[in-house]
Amino acid sequence: EIVMTQSPATLSVSPGERATLSCRASQSVSSNLAWYQQKPGQAPRLLIYGASTRATGIPARFSGSGSGTEFTLTISSLQSEDFAVYYCQQYNNWPLFGQGTRLEIK
């Protein structure tokens, strides 16, 4: 059974700085990895799929990288609206989410 592990659990970053979030799969998921952003009281929003492809309407400051078991979501210059919880999800077999990283204002 695949396990998805996100780190860190909480990340404190100042606006304008870069944020780097990690996601690790316990076995290879190829490039079938997605990232979502979730704000309080809202449904998750798809940011990245195929490990590195931005979804429609997602700003270029969001980028994804990695394949196999190690993946990264980078937000190049944090805006106020980016502070939220981020989830990775593998879809190589049945869908499985990581436990989330809370991105908070430093």
For other proteins, the binding residues (CB under 8 A) are 32, 34, 36, 42-46, 49, 55, 87, 89, 91-92, 94-100
Could you tell me the smallest distance in angstroms from the CB atom of residue 18 to other proteins? 25
Distance of CA 56 to the CA centre of its chain: 16
**Amino acid symbol at 105:** I
Decide whether 53 or 77 has the Cβ nearer to other proteins. Answer: 53
Decide whether 66 or 98 has the Cβ nearer to other proteins. Answer: 98
Could you tell me the smallest distance in angstroms from the CB atom of residue 62 to other proteins? 15
Give the start-end residues of each E strand in the chain: 4-7, 10-13, 19-25, 33-38, 45-49, 53-54, 62-67, 70-75, 85-90, 96-97, 101-105
